[in-house]
């Protein structure tokens, strides 16, 4: 029992230094995509569909929005 | 003067279409995804219910150089794809939409037009790749072992050359075709094809640009720059110059209105 | 081709005071039929950008941009993104960007064909003003527009110039020799009398007028007016037809 507890403790310190930066990056991508979607005039395809893509597809969603959703000419 | 105007316009455009936010972030994610999953693999297996009793889990001990290769591996596939997609419209799109018509009837030097676009794309991708490698370096020192900052700079320098080649290929296709999707496809396909040819004719094409990442690993393991890396870098540099020069030449001889 | 977008198969373009091998694009302003801009820029930013591309200094480009925006009536929209502009606004911005480097020749490709009546009027008025200062070369399918603003004319048919010259000279050349008369009273009574006059080739009537086709305008006019005053015809109007551009075009194409 004791051994398992100590493993769990190590996990939590890892979380802070390892997982948090990753989560921060994900969050910035997500927020940037949402703000951009609100401000942009037109997207390729309906806006609401892109909103779903951005919010529900983890990490990849915002990226495919930036590549395929934006109309910038 | 005029070059600077064009370059500035590209920078402002890429700030406003927030490429300067998402491309670096994507490259950082690509650089750290494999190191992190490999590090947490034992715990992921545990969380998934563990292996059946009696199975010995043999996980390799990763050296810092292995982890650098994980990051570069992601850049080589998805990273190249992102660069191809992100740069596909830089000239092709302007010609397709018709803006190029307004810009090029002004006394704009075609050399300036092409090289400013190339430089701005290069700056964006190099910055992104560098930030990605710094993130990877952070995790290497945290989780896997020591990698000196000097070694990191060497990696970024040599790998940066390869990335510039990818940008140059994209610029080249951008001047040839005005369908952005086609440009992205050809850029990606060319890089893949170069890799295939390099592995088929491995004994002749020792200095192929596609070998740069392999030589980088060699450099990290041995601690000195292999001569083949210098050779491959020179070949890469020459190809970049030829591609950019070729792009300018094509652009000059082409009828812009068609 | 003139604007440097296409390579000529033969021939060259030169201006009276142009040095050898100078980039002709410096002397030319060009507006394509459907101008496309960087939508993410504001009108002001776009003008400054193209101005600087034409080798103006930053302050000079800014000054010219302000002036042009005022002239084309877009001062209020100067800091709006071009993506939000209407068709007429874009066309006017298009003219402004073509003029930013003070070209000697302004080439406009169908400048008004895609505009609504208000936008058309705006642009035509602007062109009317501009032609005081610089040479305007514009193409159009709407002959009425050409009639309104042009001084000189080139008629193109199937890729060839079929007629060219000043508006006045062309009018003279293609004047359709026709006189229209109207009377108080029965037209038919006078039809015979007019037909009998020398220099008159044919004569027909419609509801209210007598149409007279003549061989020699000056002579026919003299005869008709002489007869009219001698016999005291109850003439209410006498007019010599001015050929419209459309008549000219049809005649030139047919010949």
Please give the distance of CA B44 from its chain centroid, rounded to a whole number.
Answer: 30
From chain C, pick out residues whose CB is under 8 angstroms from the CB of B9: 38, 49
The reported pLDDT for the residue numbered B56 is: 63
C251, two tokens: 């005649």
**A31 touches B: beta carbon within 8 Å:** no
**A23 in B contact zone (CB under 8 Å):** no
Res C2: pLDDT: 58
Contacts of A41 in chain C (CB under 8 A): 83-84
Confidence of residue A2 (pLDDT cuts 50, 70, 90): very low
Inter-chain touch B105–C25, beta carbons under 8 Å: yes
Output the pLDDT for position C21.
Answer: 58
Number of Cβ within a 10 Å radius of residue C54: 22
CA–CA distance, C194 with C197 (Å, rounded to integer): 5
Query: Which pLDDT score, from 0 to 100, does residue B51 have?
Result: 66
- The single residue of C45, C60, C110, C180 carrying the catalytic annotation is C110
Beta bridge partners of C239: C180
How many domains in chain B? 1
For this structure, is C172 an active site residue? no
Does some domain include residue B251?
A: yes
Q: Is B25 on the interface with A (CB under 8 A)?
A: yes
Report which of residues B208 and B56 the model is more confident about: B208
Domain C24-150 has CATH 1.10.10.10: no
Sign of the torsion formed by the C-alpha atoms of C225, C226, C229 and C233: negative
Range of the domain at B199: 2-35+59-257
For residue B178, which of B63, B98, B71, B68 has the smallest C-alpha distance?
Answer: B98
- DSSP-assigned states of every residue in C119-130: HHHHHHHHHHHH
Answer yes or no: is pLDDT of B256 > 70: no
How many beta carbons lie within 10 A of that of residue B184, not counting itself?
23
> Using 50, 70 and 90 to split pLDDT, how confident is the model at A63?
very high
Mean pLDDT estimate for chain C: 80
Assigned domain for B45 exists = no
Residue with the larger pLDDT of the pair C22 and B200: B200
Mean per-residue pLDDT for B2-26? 95
B170 pLDDT higher than 80: yes
Q: Where are the domains of chain C?
A: 24-150, 175-254
Asked whether residue B51 is assigned to any structural domain, the reply reads: no
Topology of domain C175-254 in CATH is Alpha-Beta Plaits (3.30.70)
**Which of B17, B25, B143 has the CB atom closest to A28's CB atom?**
B25
Domain annotation covers residue A54: yes
Of B99, B101, B107, the CB nearest to C38: B99
Q: Is residue A2 assigned to a domain?
A: no
The CA dihedral of B28, B30, B35, B40, to the nearest 10 degrees, is: 100
Whether the predicted pLDDT of A5 surpasses 60: no
Nearest to B99 by CA among B113, B84, B112, B82: B113
C-alpha span between A59 and B55 (Å, rounded): 34
* Residue-level pLDDT at C49: 96
Contact present, C241 and C209 (Cβ < 8 Å)? no
The whole-angstrom separation of Cα B179 and Cα C188 is 70
Mean pLDDT of B174-199: 95
Nearest alpha carbon to residue C170 among C242, C228, C76, C90: C242
- Domain membership of residue B46 (yes or no) is no
Q: Is C34 on the interface with A (CB under 8 A)?
A: no
Q: What is the mean pLDDT of residues B187-205?
A: 94
> For residue range B120-159, what is the model confidence (pLDDT) as tens digits?
999 999 999 999 999 999 999 988 999 999 999 999 999 9
pTM: 0.82
Question: What is the ipTM for the molecules in this complex?
Answer: 0.87
Q: Answer with the residue of higher pLDDT: B62 or B196.
A: B196
d(CA B46, CA B51): 7
Q: What is the DSSP secondary structure assignment for residue C73, as one 8-state letter?
A: T
Give the residue numbers spanning the domain of A60: 11-69
Q: Print the SS3 string covering C30-93.
A: EECCCCCCCCCCEHHHHHHHHHHHCCCCHHHHHHHHHHHHHHCCCHHHCCCEHHHCCHHHHHHH
Contact residues for C233 (Cβ-Cβ < 8 A; gap 6+): C183, C190, C227
B35 neighbors B144 (Cβ within 8 angstroms):
yes
Residue B100 has pLDDT above 60, yes or no: yes
- DSSP conformational letter for C27: G
Q: pLDDT truncated to tens, each residue of chain C (255 aa)?
A: 555 666 666 666 666 665 555 677 888 889 988 899 999 999 999 999 999 999 999 999 999 999 999 988 889 999 999 988 988 889 889 989 998 988 888 888 888 877 788 878 878 888 888 888 788 888 888 777 777 777 777 777 777 777 777 777 777 676 666 777 888 777 777 788 887 777 777 777 777 778 777 777 778 888 888 888 888 888 888 877 765 666 667 777 776
Of C28, C38, C53, the CB nearest to B108: C53
Q: Is C83 on the interface with A (CB under 8 A)?
A: yes
CB atoms A25 and B25 under 8 Å: yes
Neighbours of chain B (3+ CB pairs under 8 A): A, C
Instruction: Give percent of chain B with pLDDT exceeding 70.
Output: 94
Handedness of CA C119, C122, C128, C131 (dihedral sign): negative
Number of domains in chain A: 1
Q: Is the pLDDT of residue B172 over 50?
A: yes
């Amino acid at each position: 029992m004791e051994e398992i507890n100590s493993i769990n403790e190590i996990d939590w310190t890892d979380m802070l230094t390892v997982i948090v930066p990753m989560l921060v990056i994900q969050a910035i991508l997500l927020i940037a995509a949402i703000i951009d979607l609100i401000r942009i005039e037109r997207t390729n395809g309906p806006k609401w569909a892109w909103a779903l893509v951005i919010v529900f597809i983890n990490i990849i969603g915002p990226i495919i929005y930036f590549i395929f959703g934006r109309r910038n000419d | 003067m005029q070059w600077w105007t064009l370059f500035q316009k590209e920078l402002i455009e890429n700030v406003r279409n927030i490429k300067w936010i998402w491309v670096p972030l994507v490259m950082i994610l690509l650089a750290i995804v494999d190191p992190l999953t490999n590090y947490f693999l034992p715990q992921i297996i545990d969380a998934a219910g563990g292996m059946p009793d009696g199975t010995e889990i043999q996980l390799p001990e990763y050296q810092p150089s292995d982890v650098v290769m994980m990051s570069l591996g992601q850049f080589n596939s998805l990273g190249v794809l992102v660069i191809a997609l992100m740069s596909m419209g830089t000239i092709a799109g302007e010609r397709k939409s018709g803006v190029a018509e307004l810009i090029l009837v002004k006394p704009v030097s075609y050399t300036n037009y092409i090289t400013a676009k190339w430089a701005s794309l290069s700056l964006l991708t190099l910055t992104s790749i560098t930030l990605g490698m710094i993130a990877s370096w952070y995790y290497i020192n945290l989780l896997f072992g020591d990698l000196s900052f000097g070694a990191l700079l060497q990696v970024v320098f040599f790998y940066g050359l390869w990335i510039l080649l990818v940008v140059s290929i994209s610029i080249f296709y951008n001047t040839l075709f005005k369908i952005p999707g086609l440009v992205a496809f050809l850029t990606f396909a060319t890089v893949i094809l170069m890799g295939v040819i390099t592995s088929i004719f491995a004994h002749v094409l020792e200095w192929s640009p596609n070998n740069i990442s392999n030589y980088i690993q060699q450099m990290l393991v041995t601690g000195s720059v292999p001569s083949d890396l210098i050779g491959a870098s020179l070949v890469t540099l020459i190809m970049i110059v030829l591609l950019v020069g070729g792009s300018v030449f094509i652009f000059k001889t082409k009828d812009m209105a068609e | 081709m003139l604007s440097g977008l296409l390579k000529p198969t033969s021939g060259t373009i030169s201006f009276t005071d142009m040095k050898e091998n100078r980039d002709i694009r410096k002397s030319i302003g060009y507006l394509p039929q459907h101008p496309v801009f960087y939508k993410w820029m504001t009108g002001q930013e776009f003008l400054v950008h193209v101005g600087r591309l034409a080798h103006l200094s930053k302050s000079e480009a800014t000054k010219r941009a302000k002036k042009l925006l005022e002239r084309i009536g877009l001062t209020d929209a100067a800091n709006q993104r071009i993506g939000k502009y209407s068709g007429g606004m874009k066309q006017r911005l298009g003219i402004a960007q073509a003029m930013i480097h003070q070209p000697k020749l302004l080439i406009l490709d169908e400048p008004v064909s895609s505009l609504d009546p208000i936008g058309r009027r705006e642009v035509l008025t602007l062109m009317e003003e501009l032609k005081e200062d610089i040479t305007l070369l514009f193409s159009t399918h709407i002959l009425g527009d050409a009639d309104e603003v042009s001084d000189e004319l080139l008629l193109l048919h199937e890729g060839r110039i079929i007629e060219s010259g000043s508006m006045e000279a062309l009018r003279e050349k293609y004047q359709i020799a026709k006189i229209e008369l109207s009377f108080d009273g029965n037209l038919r009574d006078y039809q015979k009398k007019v037909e009998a006059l020398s220099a008159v080739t044919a004569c027909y009537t419609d509801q209210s007028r007598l149409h007279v086709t003549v061989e020699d305008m000056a002579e026919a006019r003299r005869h008709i007016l002489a007869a009219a005053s001698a016999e005291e015809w109850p003439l209410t109007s006498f007019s010599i037809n001015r050929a419209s551009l459309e008549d000219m075009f049809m005649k030139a194409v047919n010949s």
